[in-house]
Structures are given as structure tokens and as C-alpha cells.
Amino acid sequence: MEILGGPLYAVAGAGESHGPAITTIVFGCPPGFYLRAADIQRYLDRRRPGSNKHGTPRREDDTVAILSGLYQDNIERLTAGPALRLGEGEDAQTTTAYAEGYTTGEPIAAVVLSTAKKSADYAQFTGGQGEVRPGHTDLVKHYKSLGHVDVRGGGRSSYRSTISDVIGGSLARLLLAELFGVAIFSSIVQVGPLQAANRLADHLEALHQQHGGVIPPALLDELETQLLQAEIHTHDAAFARAAGQLIKQTRIDGDSLGAAVEVVAVNVPALAGDPLYQSLKLRIMGSLGGLNAVQGVEVGAGFAVAGRRGSENNDPIRSDGYQRNSHGGLIGGITTGAPLVCRVAFKPTSTIVKPQLSVRKNLEEIDFQLQKGRHDPCVGVRAGVTLESRLAIELLNAVLMHQAQRIDPAQFRLFGGQAGAA
Amino acid sequence: MEILGGPLYAVAGAGESHGPAITTIVFGCPPGFYLRAADIQRYLDRRRPGSNKHGTPRREDDTVAILSGLYQDNIERLTAGPALRLGEGEDAQTTTAYAEGYTTGEPIAAVVLSTAKKSADYAQFTGGQGEVRPGHTDLVKHYKSLGHVDVRGGGRSSYRSTISDVIGGSLARLLLAELFGVAIFSSIVQVGPLQAANRLADHLEALHQQHGGVIPPALLDELETQLLQAEIHTHDAAFARAAGQLIKQTRIDGDSLGAAVEVVAVNVPALAGDPLYQSLKLRIMGSLGGLNAVQGVEVGAGFAVAGRRGSENNDPIRSDGYQRNSHGGLIGGITTGAPLVCRVAFKPTSTIVKPQLSVRKNLEEIDFQLQKGRHDPCVGVRAGVTLESRLAIELLNAVLMHQAQRIDPAQFRLFGGQAGAA
Amino acid sequence: MEILGGPLYAVAGAGESHGPAITTIVFGCPPGFYLRAADIQRYLDRRRPGSNKHGTPRREDDTVAILSGLYQDNIERLTAGPALRLGEGEDAQTTTAYAEGYTTGEPIAAVVLSTAKKSADYAQFTGGQGEVRPGHTDLVKHYKSLGHVDVRGGGRSSYRSTISDVIGGSLARLLLAELFGVAIFSSIVQVGPLQAANRLADHLEALHQQHGGVIPPALLDELETQLLQAEIHTHDAAFARAAGQLIKQTRIDGDSLGAAVEVVAVNVPALAGDPLYQSLKLRIMGSLGGLNAVQGVEVGAGFAVAGRRGSENNDPIRSDGYQRNSHGGLIGGITTGAPLVCRVAFKPTSTIVKPQLSVRKNLEEIDFQLQKGRHDPCVGVRAGVTLESRLAIELLNAVLMHQAQRIDPAQFRLFGGQAGAA
Amino acid sequence: MEILGGPLYAVAGAGESHGPAITTIVFGCPPGFYLRAADIQRYLDRRRPGSNKHGTPRREDDTVAILSGLYQDNIERLTAGPALRLGEGEDAQTTTAYAEGYTTGEPIAAVVLSTAKKSADYAQFTGGQGEVRPGHTDLVKHYKSLGHVDVRGGGRSSYRSTISDVIGGSLARLLLAELFGVAIFSSIVQVGPLQAANRLADHLEALHQQHGGVIPPALLDELETQLLQAEIHTHDAAFARAAGQLIKQTRIDGDSLGAAVEVVAVNVPALAGDPLYQSLKLRIMGSLGGLNAVQGVEVGAGFAVAGRRGSENNDPIRSDGYQRNSHGGLIGGITTGAPLVCRVAFKPTSTIVKPQLSVRKNLEEIDFQLQKGRHDPCVGVRAGVTLESRLAIELLNAVLMHQAQRIDPAQFRLFGGQAGAA
């Protein structure tokens, strides 16, 4: 099952890059939260190619249409979303998507239509004689699907599938913000050979210590604004400029670049996450490390810990909390309340213009030369919102898992004199 | 998670009766099966109110729009489904749904829009002073959702949610038919006090014995035609007429009727299903017994076995198979190849015109009188296709589970000299 | 996975009838409940053959050894359970099982050794020429396992596997009793042609109404005592005597008998259970209906509803609760606080002495005659505790699922000034 | 649920470091594989402290007792495992564990008793005034468990819990070896500041290329012998000596060391693994990255890809396979048949003798000084077998998932003329 998170908060996704739509169902959203489609749209807009200066030049509108799971008695306001029409002429069926309402606790479905399709670009890869793009899923999926894989734009394995991640993650972060004041950020820290000097994690850990574990909303809003205005989505302005230049040049060279991205959550509720086999650490490592194009993932101090001694790595504890954050907010897979800190490494975009050695799907050898198509030269550049989303999904699921173990009989009453009322 | 079946073949559903749409995602459909939207539509049409003479007078078109998971290189044929448009005017996004193609092994999403909405009918039930319909979920869901339940048409608990069951079940039965010749039927055997004299299970068990375990397709097609043409969906023509009359009269009386329905699968692959805690018997009992309005479920001889001795209940075995089918096609939760036979009991439709004792949501007592709204007087009458669908979903999942245990290294080769090639 | 319940409260089981042990792991037990091995032992003793006058004459001790998941600082009291020794002589390893302690929230493992083995009894069924017992899993499991099925005593499909159900169910009912005062009972209502006149459900529904929804513990204890002292485990004393006689005679005849059993939970917390695809109704229908030898399951009024009109079936509601309980404590798959009422039908024990038509595993036809072995003539007679256990497992899981949706930020604090503290 | 892998091949674990036993249940092992307890014991012996020269000086025997899931008609050989006795004197129950037999497809349970307990060592950490060990789970688990956490030896969060990983992994690798010739190795590549010059992945990738994708068993056996005889488990002999010295000295200093470990599988079946949300990459990143003390995980070239261009990172493809392995054996989360290559970073063992700043569980500040207890100074040194095990579990599950999608009707026949026989 194509499901992120779960078993409590879970996001199901479906849809190929150039198929009719990306479909998403979000399960386990507790009832009673007021939600606006616009709140989700904001994060989808960050995900969209063209939303930054260095992504792919394709334009995708990616308007979210919410189809279930919200309610308010003011039906007019509830259904003030965009009109949705199926079929044409007299037989056409029309409805309107939800604009805003309270979560009901039932599944929230959403579709994002895919309209910017140039399928002719993909003739090179079609059929049993189709060419295999190095680094892509073309070959394995051709054989796995018995020849029936959608090659247009990477099919389901396209980054377009992350629309579901972002929808599910947007809902999760809105709830986490309302319940605990959680805020989740990402920052690009490496683009090819260039590395950022300023780390977002350092900045947020300092704020966390300084504000006694609860960073005020105003500071978080300010940080968000700054990140959104940067040349690329990073906390380091000088690095942003240099990286932007390098990306531009690399696109011209017909090549691509790897990247590394930090993800940090602050004002994190403590005690969330199970230990061991379904620990929040395991879940986050999987969810972030499993994202397309990611080849490595770290929590806290990450690979640096391999070179350390225990006396330098153990974080000292005082009555107001951990004094450092080598542990990255998780001990034993359980949140400590310190910032959740992760980093992932993205490989360079596989699609490049430079010639490469490859095969046809029938394994006949070829000199591969991309004929058409436009792509991000650095996939890491717009991946931040997806990483934030996946972190939010796992964190909300962990919160629900912990809450399940704290039973309050008062939550199980219907009529006055009923059992559990005692 | 609102998921039927699984973990291999699984159907996720979302959507309320009067919300914008019912959304469905089907997971685990193996690659390489040619599928037409029309094949699904045919079963959706059977599910639809108004598709028979005794359902609710509402008209719902229920056109399925497939949004992912199919492919063929002939893109024009692939995307020959109905146009889907989001938004209006210049900013509108348009796409076309899939009409037919090969399954790719990736999730198949579908939406069915909801257009026939008379939400004003539900003012009586809205808000904290809203009235509670006896037999409905109004009260429990009001408190469970902290007051944010969609009361229109039963919200998510409406029979309209079974669109997802039918979509997932249609795909499953098409695959099972192609792989094994499986056919799945249902027959109404009781409507209120009236009982059918002829049982579909008896008929099909006789055919199964007579044809050495493989009933020829022509006979199955003939049976299907006969069932579709009956006054109500039953194998017993005389009963159909009497039950039709009773339903008409009951509607006039402002009352409703319970019903019992048989579901039978034939040409069933043997050895499917795990034993014990996830046995196919457990799964079927849950899936059929868990359907809205169902209060009882039986496999094989059902409750009758309580009154029997072992010497009459054990089915004799000969070299060509079981000679009777008290076991209903399952022993130890595993298919024997004999027809899968189930029966379920539906309560009378809860919505009736006759006055009843009830409360407001704040528990204030009232004499309840339905003000508006039209409903099936006998929900069992059109439930057959849903039961067939749920059976198909569980059977296909069980088939995949069994196949997983029979590893053929030849299925794991990519390049010629590779591991597993030995 | 052989798992009952879940995803939150879940019971994993392993072990064959004549294997070394039945192993059980219980997941999701919340922390902080004081638990004694003796509390579990009490229910295991009810499950054991020979625990009543009409079960199989075999004696099994079934001492539970708890191996994990409990703790108290008083290690001596914690580890006052029976000694467990692996190996012999000098190299033997010894430890002691847990006797009592607080649940820690981590998995609780338990083993019950199997010692009373007469494997020679099963020579008749061994190997590719082995004989197939009609009604047993011998044939399907032989082919499913590629010939490697444990035929001794029914292998894993034996009722001995229900030790895991009872261990997991005992923990669940202890927690439900402590949290809400829940009590769960069962009563045999049919043995072959004999039916009980007094129904336990009627009795408990009357008490529920009479005591305003909270039945006092003293009355429940009294009922339990009465049931334990009856000739067979039923609320109807006259029926108990007649059924006892019939079972004795049937054993002499070399035959067996079917049975029907009621299961009822009272003082049930309201609002537990999800709607629709994972509803508590679906889960209970599956879990009870999926038990070995069960062919039918009902909730509330069960199959009787098929014959009713809505005006007689809808349960009237007043400010203090539902005035009747046709719905069996579940509406829309959610608990209403009314007693949870279920009934299941067991087929007659498949193993009988009377001759039958059967085959060898190679499908060669034989006249089957049981050579050795002793069995319950009426499996329903001691199934009650297993049904109660399965109901408890599903109910506790549903309680945890509901609680997960009611997030209380106070449960997520570690250091004073931390996030969520606001 | 404490479950590794799944939904098809899954390993459930339970048990605390100083509790009576570690209990394991393995689900989804296909039938028909001949298995010996000794095959598992061999890997458990590698996991055991004291199994290498630089682990903890504690001695644990860790004899595995298999309690279910195997069978052969030769019962004597089946049950030739160690005797297991519960209780003492006359009432003692005794049985013998399984020694060897065919897998039946049913759950395989195993227990390993814990006998080497010095619980008095843990008085320092007991109770509400207990001291918190920096880097340990003491604090979070104290609050999460409402004070009822087993502090002895790290409780459930101890490395002793990985006995379950190794049992489940041993079974998985035995099956993968028999089916495909898969072999899985690990090699320590960093200990504190010291780094290995020779990488196991390089060595195995060279063999893979050289032998056309199928490395001969003799070479694999030779490698295994070499790794087992090394001073520490690494492919680099010079590094092994230096690292061994450093570990010794660090133990004397009362400090600990981080480490990095490679894990590599060769002769890997292609096409295993689902894409996207449950991809094998996601699963491996989670399973390896989620292991206790791990702070980072990489697949293929790992974090190095962030610094690369696409033209250097894309692996060229020829008709006989991928010519490099930057992708680490997984593209799109699906196996390519190239070696599966992973690396993880372990933090230094948290328990050290050097003084540290900490708190009591009530948050009172203390200067923490360990009073008693012996521990591995470098947890990474014996973690290899656990990493190999987790990789094997995920790989076997992915193999089963892929096989499930390739339905062969011949696997579903019981009687000759049956459905599916056509």
C-alpha cells in the first residue's frame, strides 16, 4: 500500500506525473480542527516547479480540490472551493470542492489535476525498444510491471507524487502548530561542492535554549519569511547566492547537481514516539531517507558521531532540559522536546543533457542522448517542503500513538449515568 | 485507516453522501491486466439507487473517473475517459480520465462526483439542537466528532460510501475471472417475513458438482442475465414478485423492511487464505458482517450447524472433491475450491416516516417525525453488488497472500547472468 | 501475520497443539496497570480441556509464564513466578517468570508449555498417504504447506492456539474493568437441538436499564459465580442439565454436537470504535466469526432483523439512553454504551468415531475410521472464554483508537518550560 | 506493535535486558525450507557480548529454543532441541525445543533465556529519585511509562532486544541463500577517528562485476571466514589492529567510541521492492537507521552524492548490468541485482565512567558518576550481525511482495478438475 505514516495518521497517494491527477487520502486527522484549503495550497505552491528561481521551467498550477472530511453547518462557506465538472455538455456532473470547515475525523480526500502535459517528449522511452535513462526507474519498472509502466515524466516515480506528501504534511503541521506550537523548517546546506556556513539547526537550537524550550511565534514567522525570500531556500544568504549561480551554470552545461538539506522541527511535544521497532527515529529515517533521490539521512549529529567519544557526544542534562542536541531531539526513538534535527543527501537529478552509456529496455546497448524534456538541475532545491511534510506526518502519528496510551474515561461518555462515568 | 482488504489488495475510501465526491484508491492490483472503466461502471450502475424498481427514487449518475494506475502506449485510447475540469473560466484546469489500459501495479485512483444534493432536507438534524434519527449514527457520531459530523444524507456512514467497495471489488472480480474463471453472485433470500424457496447456493453447488468443479462460463452468464432481469435481485422469481409487492406497500405505509442476502463465488481457486487469526473466514465474516446495516453473517451452513451432529455436518470427500458444502468453501479459513457461500441479514432501513421516540443531540427528549427525505424502504435490495465486491476484495487479497509464499526465482531476473539465474 | 486486534492493542500467537509451547506476545498494553499472572491463569483455567464436566478427558496444565513487559522495583516480587530452565545439567540456563508488576507499555510475552502429548495417536494422518479427517484442515493444509503440516492434534489449527487469545483477552478485560468497570460474559444457548429458554443478553440488558447504565460490581460477581458453577457454562440451569445429558450420550454414540453461544459485555464505554471499514462491528464480526469451527455470527438482534419492519427494529431513545438493544451496543460500528451483544454458531466437533467417506492426502478414496484420540464432543462448550477474550481485545483496541483522537497537550511534557506547556 | 519488516515477512520481539527471556515470533516464512536451530545459533553467537575481543566482558549463553513452526514426520529428530522445564518438583512441566525440521508456513516462535543478571548494579537508577544516565532512555521512558520502566540493563531498549532481529534475520538469510544464493556481510569502517582504507563494498562490487553478477559461493565462504577471524569484524586487517588497540585504551580511559559499519548483500534478486512510499529503500533506511545508537544511514554512495554532478553520479548501463554502483543496488526503491550497499553511523556507547552533568528523574540536578556496570566501549563493534539481519528481513519481505504480484494459477489447485485448472 502506498501509504506514508500510520497506523493512526496516514497518507495514501496515487497518480502518475502525466496522468489525469494526483489523488490523496488523509486518514486519522482528529475531529474539531478548522481547516482551510488555502492553508494547504500555500505549501503546495512551495512544492511546485517554478515556485523558485532554480527549478524546472514547467508551470503547474496544482490547485488542491478537497473532496471530503470537512464540515460546518454553513454549507455555503464549506463548499466555496473551486467547481469540479466531470463530462461535458448536458450529461456533465458538477460539484464544488470544500473551501474550509472543521475536520470530522473522517478521511480527507483531495485531488490535484495534472494539465501541463507534453507527452510527445517521452516517445524516446516508450515500448519494448524504449531507451533507458541512466539513474531513472525505467529499466526496473519496465520489468517489474511486465512492460506496462507509464514512462511519461517518470510516471508514478516522478516528484509530482510528492503532492500527496505535502497535502498530508500540511494538515499534520497545521494540527501540530495549533496543539503545541510546533514549527517545521528546512534549509539547503549543500549544492554540489558548495556548503553553507550557517546551519539552520544551530540557529534554532540556540533559540530553543534561549527561550526555555518554547520559541515565540513571532521569531518563527520571521524565520519563515526570510527562508521564503531567499534566492534558494536556505538560512545562509551568501551560500544562497553562490549556489544559485552554480545551478544556473550547471543547467547551461547540461548537467545536474546533488544537494543536502536540513529539516528541523521546534517546540516539539515530548514523549511522542514508540521505542525500538516502530520508534520515531526509525520512522523518520525511513520516511526522509526513502524519498526519491535521497541516498543518506541523519538525525542529530549524524555521521559525525562515528568519530566521537562518549564524553563529548553525550548531551548534558539540567533541570530545564538537554544542554546540547547531539541526539537531535530523539532518545530511544522518543522525543525529548529538543528540536528534531535531520539532514538528507540528494543525488544530482538523473536527467541530464550530457551523453551517457545506457541500454534499450531489451538490453541492447546504446549511447544515450536525451532528446527532449526540461528538468530541475538540482532536485534538492525544492525538496524541502516535502521533507518538512514527511517529518510532520510521522510526528503527528507519534503524537496520536502516545495519546492512545493515556486513557481518560471522561472521553467515553454519551448519556449521563453511563459506564465510565464513575 | 478506512481500508477494506489488505495488506496486499486493499481499497481505501473517502467521502460523504452529500460531499463533493467519493474518492477511492485501490492498492496492490498486479500489473498486466487490461482494464476498462466501463467494466467498473457496469457494477457501479447496479449499486446506484434507482437501478432497480424498489430502491430510493433519487437519481445518481455515479460516473467513475479513473485517475491513475493504468497505461498503454496508445495515449489517446488510454485517456478517452470523460473530461474533468477544476475551476472556471480562464484559470480552469482540465484533463481527461482514463478509459482503458493495462494495470501497472501502481495505485488506481477513482472519483465519483456527487451532484444530486438536497441538503436543505437535512436542516432537521443540524447543530447541537439537531434531532437524532433512531437507528442512525447521528448521536454517536455527533459526540465522537465533537459536534462536527456531516449530517447530510448520513454523511460518511451513508450507503454512498460503498461506491469505493464496488470500485475495488469490480477490479478484483475482473482479475479473479481472468485468472481462474471466478464468478460471484448474490441473491436476496428474505424480505421481511417473506422467504425465497429457491436458494442460489443450492443451484450453484449443484452446478459445481455436475461440472466437476469448473462451471462453464455460458451457464454463469445466463445466471447473471436472469438475476439482472428479476424484479428484485434474486434467484427465485415467485419470491421476487411477492417481495416487490411488499416493498411497494411498505413504502406507502411509511415503514421499512429487513432482508437477507446470499453471496456465492464459484470456480474458486483452492488454497487461498491464511489459517487462524487472518484467515479468509475471519476476513469475510468481518467484511460482510461489518457492512452498514448488517446484523448477522454466515458461512456455509451457518447457524444451522448449531443444531446438527458431526455425522451429518461433516462433508464427505471423494477424489474429485467435497461431496457437499456445509463448510461453505472454507476449511480452516482456507479455500477448498468448493463454492464460497455466505449469507447476511440486513436490518430494516432506519429512516422511516412513522413517528418514533428520540432525543435531540443535547439529549432533550422528542417525538421524532421525519420531515423530508427519500430513502430505500429495504436497504438489502441493492446491497448485493456491495457484498459481492467485498467478497472479491478479500478473495483476491487471499490469492496474493498465498502466491507470495510460492517463490519462483525466475520472476526476479533483470540482466541475463544475474543472481537467481542459477 | 497471526495477529488478533490491532493496530494498537494486538495479540500475536504461535504454536501448534503438540509442539513445545504456545507463545504469545501482547502489544499496546498501556503503562501503569498492576497485573498478576494469577489473573491470567484464572481465564486460562477456564479455557483448559477438563475444566468442565463435558470437555475432552485430556488434562493440560497450561501454566502461564510471563516473560516480559512487567516491572516493579521490588524485583523479588516481580520475579516470583515459576522457574524456567533450558537445557540440562551444568549447562542449563535458569530464570524465573514474572509473577506480578506494573505494565510498562512494552510487549508482554508469555509461554505455555505443552506437555500432555500422545503423538502416536496421529500416525494415521502422517505422510503423503496419511488419511484426511473430514471437517479438518488436513487436506488444505497438506497442500498449502507443500506437505509439511504438523498433523499432531490439529497442529496450529487446534483449539490449543486459543491460549494466545485468552492471554491477550485476559489482559484486555482486566484493563477495561479497571478503567470502566466493563464485564464480559458468555452463555451457551444451544447444544444440538436443545435451546436455552433464558438468554443472558436479556438478563444483562434488563440490569443495564434498571441500574441506569452502570451495573453494580456485586451483581456481576454473582453472575460470574453462577455461570462458573453451572453444569455447562450457561445462564439457563434447566438447559444446562439437559444439554449435559445430551453431550454425555453423544460422546457414547461416537458423534458430536453443534452449539450456539452468546457473548455480552456490559458497562461498556461509549464512542469507541471507528465507523465503516474498520468499525468495531466489522472487527467483532470478523474476530468472533473467524474463530475455529464458527459458521455464523450475529450482533444485537442478528438474523431476526431480516424479518422485521423498521418501526419495530429501531430502538427508541430517551435522555438516559437507548430503551431497547436491537442494535446490540453498536450503531455505525461505534459503541453506544448499551451492552455489546453477540452470538456465534459452532459446528459439531469434526472428529467423530462414526465412519465417514474420505480420502488419503494423495486423494485416494477411503472409508475413514478414527483409530485413536479423544476429543470434545461439543467444541462450543468451552469456547466461551475465547469469545469473551476476542471481544475484549477488539474493545480495548477500539478504546485506544478513540483516545488517540483526543489529544491532551499535558500528556506531552517532560521539562517544565517545554513546548505544549503553554 | 514491535514488529520488524512485514506485512509479509515480519519479526515480532519482546523482552527486556534483565527480564526472564527475549521472545521472538517470526511470521511469513514460506513452507518447505529445512531449518536447523544450529543455523540460527551461529548468528546469535556472533551477536553475543564476549563473542569478540572488544565487547563487554559479560557472558551470555543465548541458546535459542525454537517453540513452533517446524515439522517433520521424524518427531524424534524434530524435537531433539534442549529440554525446557517450567516449575519445579512434581508439578514441573517439561518439553523439548525443536532442533530441525521443515518450515510449515506458520509462525516460528523462539525464546532465549536471560540468566546473567546482576540487577543490584542498577540500584543507582531505580525509583523516582533514580539518576538519569546521559544518552540513555532513562528519562523519556520514565515519564512515558508513568514511572514503570525497567531500568535494569537498559530494559527493553538494551541491545539484548536485537536477539529477535538476529533470529528473524537468520531465517531470512537462510531462505535468501537457498533461493538466490544471497550472502550478506558487514564490515566496520570507522572507530572513532580511525577509518578503514579498504571497503568491503568496493571488494564485493568488484567481485560482482568480475563474475557477471553471480559471485561463486566459495569466494563468499572465504570472505566470511576472514571476517570472523579478524580482530574486529572488518575487511581491513590493518585497521582492525589499530581499532582494537584504540578500543582497549578507551575502555581503560572510562570512555567510549563511535563507529561506522558497512552492510552489503550480494547475489541479490532483481525487481524486489515496491516503489515510493513502501519502497525497499525507505524500508532499509528506516530499519538500519532506526537501530539503537544509529544516527545516520546511507545507501550506495550516500552523502557523497550531494557533492556530485549527474554526469559523474549516474551509473552507466551495459547489457550485462550496471557498470558502477553509486545507486547501491536500489533504483526507485527496487533492487537492480547489483550489490545492496548501506552504511550506518553509531554514536559512542552512552554508558561511560567519566563524570557527566545529569539530573535525577525528578529533574533535580546532579553530577553523574556511574557506580557499577560493564559495557561495550564501542557498540558498533558487534552491531554488524544485527544490521545484516535487518537487511535480510527487509529483503525477504520485498521478495515476497514482488512474488505476490506474479500469480501462477497452478499454485491454487487441490482436486484435479478444479477451477484454475483450465
Q: How many CB atoms lie within 10 A of CB C18?
A: 24
* B407–chain D Cβ distance below 8 A for any pair: yes
pLDDT tens digits, one per residue of A122-163: 889 998 899 999 999 999 999 999 999 998 888 999 999 999
Are D420 and B336 an interchain contact pair (Cβ–Cβ within 8 Å)?
no
* D412–chain A Cβ distance below 8 A for any pair: no
The amino acid present at D189, given as its one-letter code, is V
* D268–chain B Cβ distance below 8 A for any pair: yes
Give the residue from chain D lying closest to A403, CA to CA.
D144
Mean pLDDT, residues D296-319 taken together: 97
Label residue B64 left, alpha or beta by phi (over 0 means left) and psi (-120 to 50 means alpha).
Answer: beta
Are A190 and D292 an interchain contact pair (Cβ–Cβ within 8 Å)?
no
* A85–chain B Cβ distance below 8 A for any pair: yes
Put simply, the chain B residues between 275 and 314 with a CB less than 8 A from any chain A CB are none
The amino acid present at D65, given as its one-letter code, is A
Put simply, the chain A residues between 377 and 406 with a CB less than 8 A from any chain D CB are 380, 402
Q: What is the separation of C-alpha B237 from the centre of its chain, rounded to a whole number of angstroms?
A: 23
CB D163 within 8 A of CB D22: yes
Domain ranges of chain C: 118-404
Q: Please tell me which chains touch B, using 3 or more CB pairs under 8 Å as the contact test.
A: A, C, D
* D359–chain A Cβ distance below 8 A for any pair: yes
Q: Is the predicted pLDDT of residue B5 greater than 50, yes or no?
A: yes
* C-alpha to C-alpha distance for C273 and A179, rounded to whole angstroms: 24
**What's the pLDDT at C411?**
96
State the DSSP code for A156: G
* B415–chain C Cβ distance below 8 A for any pair: no
Mean pLDDT, residues A304-310 taken together: 97
Percent of chain B whose pLDDT exceeds 90? 86
Q: Is the predicted pLDDT of residue A422 greater than 50, yes or no?
A: no
More confident residue, A396 or A61: A396
* A420–chain C Cβ distance below 8 A for any pair: yes
A76: which residues sit within 8 A by CB, 6+ positions away?
none
The amino acid present at D417, given as its one-letter code, is G
Mean pLDDT, residues B28-42 taken together: 97
pLDDT tens digits, one per residue of A206-253: 999 999 999 999 999 999 999 999 989 999 999 999 999 999 999 999
| Chain A residues closer than 8 Å to B143 by CB | 414
CB D11 within 8 A of CB D394: no
D49: which residues sit within 8 A by CB, 6+ positions away?
D55, D56, D57, D58, D59, D60, D376, D382
**What's the pLDDT at B55?**
55
Q: Name the E strands within D245-328.
A: 259-266, 294-299, 317-318, 321-322
pLDDT tens digits, one per residue of B139-176: 999 999 999 999 888 899 999 999 999 999 999 999 99
pLDDT tens digits, one per residue of D145-199: 999 999 888 899 999 999 999 999 999 999 999 999 999 999 999 999 999 999 9
CATH of C118-404, one of 3.30.70.2750, 3.60.150.10, 3.30.390.30, 3.30.300.90: 3.60.150.10
* C-alpha to C-alpha distance for C174 and C178, rounded to whole angstroms: 6
**What's the pLDDT at B417?**
55
* C-alpha to C-alpha distance for B145 and B9, rounded to whole angstroms: 30
**What's the pLDDT at C258?**
98
CB D109 within 8 A of CB C15: yes
Q: Please tell me which chains touch C, using 3 or more CB pairs under 8 Å as the contact test.
A: A, B, D
Q: Is the predicted pLDDT of residue B277 greater than 90, yes or no?
A: yes
* D320–chain C Cβ distance below 8 A for any pair: no
* C-alpha to C-alpha distance for B80 and C284, rounded to whole angstroms: 44
* A415–chain B Cβ distance below 8 A for any pair: yes
pLDDT tens digits, one per residue of D109-150: 999 999 756 666 788 999 889 999 999 999 999 999 999 999
Average pLDDT, chain B: 93
| Chain B residues closer than 8 Å to A363 by CB | 415-416
State the DSSP code for C29: P
Are C106 and A415 an interchain contact pair (Cβ–Cβ within 8 Å)?
no
Number of H helices, E strands in chain B: 10, 21
* C-alpha to C-alpha distance for A43 and A46, rounded to whole angstroms: 5
Q: What is the separation of C-alpha A356 from the centre of its chain, rounded to a whole number of angstroms?
A: 31
Take residue B155 and report the three cell numbers written for it: 454523511
Taking alpha carbons only, the member of B86, D190, D64, D121 closest to residue A20 is B86
Taking alpha carbons only, the member of C208, C162, C206 closest to residue C183 is C208
Distances (CA, A) of B232 to B54, B188, B190, B253, C185: 8, 8, 11, 20, 41
**What's the pLDDT at B30?**
98
Take residue D64 and report the three cell numbers written for it: 535459542
Q: Which of C175-184, D114-123, D230-239, D316-325 has the lowest mean pLDDT?
A: D114-123
Q: Which of A167-176, C35-44, D119-128 has the lowest mean pLDDT?
A: D119-128
**What's the pLDDT at C61?**
82
Q: State the pTM of this model.
A: 0.97
pLDDT tens digits, one per residue of B376-421: 899 999 899 999 999 999 999 999 999 999 999 999 999 975 544 3
State the DSSP code for B335: E
CB A298 within 8 A of CB A286: no
Q: Please tell me which chains touch D, using 3 or more CB pairs under 8 Å as the contact test.
A: A, B, C
Q: Is the predicted pLDDT of residue A419 greater than 50, yes or no?
A: no
Are B1 and A6 an interchain contact pair (Cβ–Cβ within 8 Å)?
yes
* A332–chain D Cβ distance below 8 A for any pair: yes
Q: Please, which pLDDT band fits residue C275 given cuts at 50, 70 and 90?
A: confident
Of B2, B157, B295, the CB nearest to C302: B295
Distances (CA, A) of A177 to A15, A164, A207, A220, B126: 29, 20, 17, 11, 30
B356: helix, strand or coil: strand
Q: Is the predicted pLDDT of residue C118 greater than 90, yes or no?
A: no
C80: which residues sit within 8 A by CB, 6+ positions away?
C96, C99, C100
Mutate: best of D66, D86, D359, partner C, most C CBs <10 A = D86
Mutate: best of A9, A140, A389, partner D, most D CBs <10 A = A140
Give a three-class secondary structure readout of D34-74.
Answer: EEEHHHHHHHHHHHCCCCCCCCCCCCCCCCEEECCCEECCC
Point out which residues pair with C100 in neighbouring strands: C36
More confident residue, B335 or B275: B335
Q: Is the predicted pLDDT of residue D355 greater than 50, yes or no?
A: yes
Are D275 and A157 an interchain contact pair (Cβ–Cβ within 8 Å)?
yes
Q: Is the predicted pLDDT of residue D237 greater than 80, yes or no?
A: yes
B140: which residues sit within 8 A by CB, 6+ positions away?
A414, C270, C271, C331, C332, C334, C335, C336
Mean pLDDT, residues D47-71 taken together: 76
**What's the pLDDT at B54?**
60
Q: How far is A403 from chain C (nearest CA, A)?
A: 5
Are D14 and C106 an interchain contact pair (Cβ–Cβ within 8 Å)?
yes
pLDDT tens digits, one per residue of D102-112: 999 999 999 99
First to last CA, chain B: 42
Q: Where do the H-state alpha helices sit in B94-229?
A: 138-144, 162-180, 200-210, 217-229
CB B418 within 8 A of CB B295: no
Put simply, the chain C residues between 182 and 201 with a CB less than 8 A from any chain D CB are none
* C-alpha to C-alpha distance for D93 and C115, rounded to whole angstroms: 6
Give the residue from chain A lying closest to C317, CA to CA.
A415
Average pLDDT, chain A: 93
Q: How far is C34 from chain A (nearest CA, A)?
A: 15
D117: helix, strand or coil: coil
Q: How many CB atoms lie within 10 A of CB D183?
A: 24
**What's the pLDDT at A420?**
43
| Chain D residues closer than 8 Å to A279 by CB | 290
Q: Please, which pLDDT band fits residue D275 given cuts at 50, 70 and 90?
A: confident
Q: Which of B118-122, C249-253, D245-249 has the lowest mean pLDDT?
A: B118-122
pLDDT tens digits, one per residue of B330-388: 999 999 999 999 999 999 999 999 999 999 999 999 999 998 766 789 999 989 999 99
Distances (CA, A) of B404 to A380, B8, B31, D407: 36, 10, 15, 9
Are A93 and B115 an interchain contact pair (Cβ–Cβ within 8 Å)?
yes
Of A19, A61, A96, the CB nearest to B67: A19
pLDDT tens digits, one per residue of B208-250: 999 999 999 999 999 999 999 998 999 999 999 999 999 999 9
